[in-house]
Amino acid sequence: MRESPALKIIEQLLDAGAVIKAYDPVAMSEARKILGDRIEYGRDMYDVAIDASGLILATEWSEFRIPNFKLLSRI
């Protein structure tokens, strides 16, 4: 997690004043150790899309490769 490009992206967005809500199927506890309460944490990949202005996919996890676009369009 410490070498993750996602951390650099999150830090830059936070510096720019963005509100971040993130989800990772494996690294949530490690993310909490590193980022603490500076970001929000989602329950799943669809939870982070609720009321989002944009989405960034910064992972290679296979579950993110083909999201349910019908569900995303309703969020």
Report the number of distinct structural domains present in the chain: 1
3-state secondary structure of 41: strand
pLDDT surpassing 70 at residue 2:
no
Asked whether the beta carbons of 45 and 63 are under 8 A apart, the reply is yes
Question: Which range among 16-25, 43-52, 53-62 shows the weakest confidence by mean pLDDT?
Answer: 53-62
Mean pLDDT of 24-47: 94
Tell me which of 1 and 5 has the higher pLDDT. 5
Assess whether pLDDT exceeds 70 at residue 43. yes
Nearest to 30 by CA among 1, 10, 63, 57: 1
The reported pLDDT for the residue numbered 38 is 97
Q: Range of 31's domain? A: 5-74
Mean of the per-residue pLDDT values of the chain: 91
CA distance 33 to 53: 26
Q: How high is the pLDDT of residue 66?
A: 87
